[in-house]
Amino acid sequence: TGCIDADEAFEAVDGRLLTLILAMLGFGAALDKTGAVAMITEAAAPMLTDLPPTLVLWGLILVTSLLTELVTNNAIAVVMTPVAIALATTLGVDPRGFVVGVMIAASASFATPIGYQTNTLVYSVGGYRFTDYLRIGAPLNILVGATATLVIPFIWRF
């Protein structure tokens, strides 16, 4: 369309973020390849097999949501996806629902200015305080997580 040329597009790419995402892709693959994901899942499986899959999904969403507030959402999504697949497989449910739960939780980064780039950008410019994010964002995270936990089992039956 001519609205942006190739040089402008290339300059707009945040190299640090791209490096982090690529590093986390490698980290996620390494966790899976080395058996760390299996080890985590096997350690947690005895405690989780007696729980309803919906409750395990809620826990996975909660952990992902908490982690995404501290580290960029892309990185957490990459790390938590193999865990979600392994947990779902252990419970005998469709892994797609658990993966979607991770994607939603990783994207719902409302409670801190750290977890998502836009939050960081408006943090100083808007004159916000860290507590402003917690006050408004934490209830939003809970709402999104609860909604995902209730809806996902209807789409991917478990």
One-letter amino acid at 157 equals R
pLDDT in tens, 103-139: 999 999 999 988 777 887 788 778 899 899 999 999 9
pLDDT in tens, 8-21: 767 766 677 667 66
Domain ranges of the chain: 6-155
At 154 the pLDDT is: 96
Phi, psi of 91 (to 5 degrees): -80, -10
Average pLDDT, the chain: 85
**pLDDT reading at 5 higher than 80:** no
